[in-house]
Amino acid sequence: MKNQTVRVRYAPSPTGEQHIGGVRTALFNYLFARHTGGHLVLRVEDTDVTRSERRYEQSLYHDLRWLGLNWDEGPDVGGPYGPYRQSERGELYREAVMRLLDAGQAYLCYCAPEELHAERRRAIAEGRPPRYSGRCRDPQVRRELARRGGRPLVRYATPGDETLQVDDLVRGQVTFSGGDLGDFAIYRADDDTLSGGQALYNLAVVVDDHAMKITHVLRGEEHLPNTPRQMLLYRALGYETPAFGHLSLILAPDGHKMSKRQGDTSIAHYRREGYLPETLLAYIATLGKAPGRDPERLGLDELVERFDLHHLSASPSIYDPRRLEAFNRRRIRSEDIESLGQRLRPRLEEAYGCWERAADTAHSAETWYHILVEAVREEAVTLQDMVEISAFAYVSRVTDWTAEAHEAMADEWAPKVLEHCRTTLTEDALRTPLTANEFFREMRHHFRDTAGIRGRLVMFPIRAALTGTLKGPCLGMVTSLLGRRRCIERIEDVLA
């Protein structure tokens, strides 16, 4: 396949939201395809009819496009090798099964599910690989069991004495014994005639990858045990085998397998919380490969340029939510104000019904908004944090104070500080954040020289009265954003 155009695929099942692990697979396939000038195919593996839902397929499209991971072929965009939903490719699977049956490389199995379960339990208890015994290979046994009725399975007749070698693009050579595989199921038939039925995973992906001319299969390590089975099916059907690469496991911070107990790691969750798509891609790109220099600053084009299969690691990666937060915090702080403001604006409109409150201030709407974005981003990890920190600028009155704010306003000097601020604060002082800062500098000097009190004893009561908290943007920005009228109203509310 050296001279062929690279064709890779991302093939999720629409049974839930997209999570970090699945998107890592999508990202690495995207980067490899774009780096090599190849094609990315999106295939929806929806043969699990009891769990697959079209709404999850739609959220898949939304998540990937939000991240900027566009595909060249897929259910929604079409392509020369469709259809791209497995539920629409049943006849292709049936034809492949009939070929294997006719060639004597597969057979019908009539063993009841409870018999198979008991056989598996015995093998595990005796320390043997839990594989099928091959009982129905015997035609006489098949005929006897067929009389009981029931839906038969089609099993591939695995050569038991063969060693299979996978030249994995990530792990190097991995060997498997055919004797450990057993005769694995490839199709669940409705009846003896195979007039209807459902292809099982290993057969469906082989048929699809061949039909869609996939040259490289990059997927998670959990699929490695399936690879020798698929290699056998490629050979039995006369198909060329693609190159395989199995990406490392992603573990939770405690070193165990990721689970819901570690929190929501869905892309929809990160989008709701206000993580930037560039941050997620930059962070996910570090899971399973050498991160390089300043990984949090890399955009998608740079990730494409730097991608190298030889840099992928077989060692497990640790998902670290704190590192992801650090990535997002740094990107929010370095983002162009105009661009960051555009991302934030819809969230503010949803939360507060408007994106600016420049009335009664010295600023135009655009200038006011730029000051706000600059003010709140320094304390924020996500866009949603920015919305919450911005609350002081949008609410008409402060009606809720933190315990620390209450304590600051209860200080014996607080009434004098607030009264001084109320009587000396002018429109001109709030013309810009710089002039507001100068006003408060002079106010600190006044109380230092006349009363001997310093710093927080002066500033904390004012901040508490204006915002309800002792944390947040610098006081010059806060007061410049509020304007004199709202500042005075809030101080008077506390003094009343």
Annotated catalytic residues are 260
Rounded distance between C-alpha atoms, residue 191 and residue 199, angstroms:
14
299, two tokens = 């955009």
Integer CA distances (angstroms), 404 to 338, 410, 464, in order: 34, 10, 8
Q: What letter does residue 247 receive in the DSSP assignment?
A: E
- Burial category of 359 from C-beta neighbours within 10 Å (exposed 0-12, middle 13-18, buried 19 and up): exposed
Helices 475-495 + 456-467 axis angle, to 10: 80
Rounded distance between C-alpha atoms, residue 349 and residue 86, angstroms:
41
- Burial category of 431 from C-beta neighbours within 10 Å (exposed 0-12, middle 13-18, buried 19 and up): middle
Rounded distance between C-alpha atoms, residue 160 and residue 164, angstroms:
11
Q: With contact defined as beta carbons under 8 Å apart, do 336 and 349 qualify?
A: no
For residue 210, the cross-strand partners are: none
Give the residue from 489, 43, 17 showing the smallest Cα distance to 260.
17
Are β-strands 153-156 and 216-220 bridged in parallel, bridged antiparallel, or unpaired?
unpaired
Rounded distance between C-alpha atoms, residue 35 and residue 28, angstroms:
10
- Residue 167's SS3 state is strand
Are β-strands 163-168 and 172-177 bridged in parallel, bridged antiparallel, or unpaired?
antiparallel
- Residue 40's SS3 state is strand
